[in-house]
Structure 1
Amino acid sequence: MSSARTYRASVRVGNWMEDVTLEKDSLKDFLYRRDRGELTVQKTDLLKQTLLKPVSLSVSRDGFLRFGDTVMLVNSGGTDHDPCDPCSLSIVADLSNMKSHPQTSSNTGLYGPFQVGGASGLTPCVRNALIITSVDGTAEGEVLRYEQSFALRTTAAFSGELYMASDHRTFQKCAKSSRLQEVSLVEQADFLCWWRVVYFDPQERLEHEGYPVQGNTKVLITHCKTNQCLAALANHEVWTPFGKEYELVAHTFLDSHKAEQNSNHWLFVTADPGQEEQSLVQRHQASNVTNENGSDIEAITDTPQEEQS
């Protein structure tokens, strides 16, 4: 009975003044953070609203990629020994990237650098849409060619322009899970942001050098400085605010025939000319909804260039 309450809550006993002051300060701090958009629930909603905003991909009438096109990078999947569902290169951001602008008292936004991951969602949005950018003075609208250097940057719907970059791995800077060469999005556009498209078949690679790059077909994306290919790792997954995703690195995986494996094969996905609000991958998946292999996108990746052109 010694612990029983002898007074009601309204009775002011003990350090009642300190308790009332702490409650008022807590409420004032809550309202201040709410007005600045710094509450966790507000940051989470803003993060999803910003990154999941729909984006219209570019439509290629002749099938070729051009500088200035908005595309998605989709990995076609792994092998029998290394299974991997199709995934799209996407921005990985969490609440640590949500900050208020130092010059203002509000307007919380996203600030880099960011990591990238392989998301299973193939719907075009701010998170997975990238713009092909020239680095050698090629005019916007010109055709992108094999072995030509280019950069990939985020769309205008994202806060600021960030470029996909990579560099040699070190003890301090490498992929978290696999410890391979890291791929990230940075603000400064320098030589670390230069990439080139390589034909996926080694036996026909020399013949295709200098030819226009076909959209929605398998290619290799090689980093100019390190000469490592962009890869999606099926056996290394990372947790993000959007779920479990594949880790993306810059590393060339070769088979017994010295040819790059499927984890290095990517597609520059464009919009469907007949229905511009969806990509060609989405159209293919919708047409195979009753097929148990509906997630397979080989049908739009293995068409010879001579037949499509």
Structure 2
Amino acid sequence: MATSTLTGQVQEGGQARERRMAQNLYSPRVRLGNWNEDIYLEEELMKDFLEKREKGQLLIQRNRRLKENLLRPMQLSISEDGYVHCGDKVMLVNSDYPETEAHLVLGGDLSLCMTPDEIQAHLSDELEVPCGLSAAQTKIPVGRNTFIILSEDRNAMGQVLRYGQNFCLAITGGFEGKMLYLSSDHRTLLKSSKRSWLQEVYLTDEVSYLNCWQAAFLDPQLRLEYEGYPIPANAKVIINHCHTNRGLAAHRHLFLSTYFGKEAEVAGPHPLSSGPSGKQDRRGSCLVSGENGAGDHLSLAELGMGRAEVRLGGA
């Protein structure tokens, strides 16, 4: 009995010594686990971070550059004779109109804007092609909503734009050496607008017949009579795609969650019709130039809503 008691005391004493040794051995300065590998990993991560920061490849840096270009202030063109010309810098705006269910639509004046995909924009410094479009509640001319009217052959700069004449709408998005063209094509099972599944409208750098558009007189009863006449500023027109005979339209009731917030979908659903003009007013577009009756030519950006605008039609 005494022997067993002595043996137990010896064992307890040995365990106490081991605990004291462990406490002395594993002090706060002792490193446990794969500490050497962790240090090298942290050094590699820091080196990779500094290298990307030096090259401007961090997501925050790309995000800032993209916003600086797309939101860069732009100067719209000046109309000296009251007409719209090839080479003019304009905004495409869908005017607000009363709605019976205003809470279900995106109200206010909507301007056509380029809307790059957020994920693709973070992966590359270049604009994605094709690039999406949307209609946003903005009246300020910036890189993402300022378009340039070009002739079909891109050479007739300064020429007066006429009803029924083919023209192109190009945009730089605030980037230098980059030109994208407003385009559209027939709807297919694999290619259509995101929300309405109608004919898609997009921006591309390819020059083709899909870039061509026409401006038609708003009143269908007088449309043929006005073919070939110059398009005056502040006159409502219909912007129609030449290849598909579909009118450009902003769907205020179809919302898109874009890089810049909630915006409306833009598509080409409406064929050019010769019916009553009552329904055409919503889809009518307006080419507005900066001029006044006294002959003092103002910058279009100084005229509030009196800018050079091509107003999209709502669905």
| Normalised TM-score (structure 2) | 0.78
Q: Are positions 1:280 and 2:299 aligned together?
A: no
Aligned ranges for residues 44-193 of structure 1 at < 5 Å?
44-81=63-100, 83=102, 84-93=107-116, 94-100=118-124, 108-136=125-153, 139-155=156-172, 157-159=174-176, 160-193=178-211
Give the C-alpha shift of residue 129 in structure 1. Answer: 0.6
Give the C-alpha shift of residue 32 in structure 1. Answer: 2.1
Q: Assess if the C-alpha contact under 8 Å between 1:202 and 1:259 holds in 2.
A: no
2:5 aligned partner: none
CA distance in 2, matches of 1:77, 1:156: 25
Deviations 1:176-229 (CA, angstroms, capped at 9, x unpaired): 111111111000110000000011111221221111012233211000000000
Give the C-alpha shift of residue 122 in structure 1. Answer: 1.0
Q: Assess if the C-alpha contact under 8 Å between 2:172 and 2:179 holds in 1.
A: yes
CA distance in 1, matches of 2:211, 2:234: 22
Q: Assess if the C-alpha contact under 8 Å between 2:240 and 2:246 holds in 1.
A: yes
Closer, same or farther in 2 for the Cα pair 1:255/1:227, shift >3 Å? closer
Give the C-alpha shift of residue 81 in structure 1. Answer: 4.1
**Aligned residue pair count:** 273
2:4 aligned partner: none
CA distance in 1, matches of 2:218, 2:101: 19
Closer, same or farther in 2 for the Cα pair 1:41/1:271, shift >3 Å? farther
Closer, same or farther in 2 for the Cα pair 1:152/1:207, shift >3 Å? same
Closer, same or farther in 2 for the Cα pair 1:7/1:69, shift >3 Å? farther
Identity rate, percent? 39
Higher mean C-alpha deviation, range 28-37 or range 160-169: 28-37
Q: Assess if the C-alpha contact under 8 Å between 2:215 and 2:240 holds in 1.
A: yes
Closer, same or farther in 2 for the Cα pair 1:281/1:233, shift >3 Å? farther
User: RMSD value over aligned CA atoms?
Assistant: 2.7
Q: Assess if the C-alpha contact under 8 Å between 2:220 and 2:274 holds in 1.
A: no
1:19 aligned partner: 38
2:287 aligned partner: 268
Amino acid at match of 1:133: L
Give the 3-state SS of the residue equivalent to 2:210 in structure 1. Answer: helix
Give the 3-state SS of the residue equivalent to 1:28 in structure 2. Answer: helix
Q: Assess if the C-alpha contact under 8 Å between 2:220 and 2:275 holds in 1.
A: no
Higher gyration radius (CA)? 2
Amino acid at match of 1:34: R
Closer, same or farther in 2 for the Cα pair 1:134/1:274, shift >3 Å? closer
Give the 3-state SS of the residue equivalent to 2:221 in structure 1. Answer: helix
Q: Which runs of 5+ in 1 are unaligned?
A: 1-5, 101-107, 285-296, 301-309
1:238 aligned partner: 256
CA distance in 2, matches of 1:194, 1:222: 9
Give the C-alpha shift of residue 137 in structure 1. Answer: 6.6
Closer, same or farther in 2 for the Cα pair 1:38/1:122, shift >3 Å? same
Q: Assess if the C-alpha contact under 8 Å between 1:91 and 1:114 holds in 2.
A: yes
CA distance in 2, matches of 1:279, 1:72: 14
Q: Assess if the C-alpha contact under 8 Å between 2:63 and 2:122 holds in 1.
A: no
Give the 3-state SS of the residue equivalent to 2:262 in structure 1. Answer: strand
CA distance in 1, matches of 2:60, 2:243: 41
Closer, same or farther in 2 for the Cα pair 1:27/1:228, shift >3 Å? same
Q: 2:214 aligns with which of 185, 196, 215?
A: 196
Q: 1:221 aligns with which of 226, 239, 250?
A: 239
Q: Which runs of 5+ in 2 are unaligned?
A: 1-25
2:20 aligned partner: none
| Normalised TM-score (structure 1) | 0.80
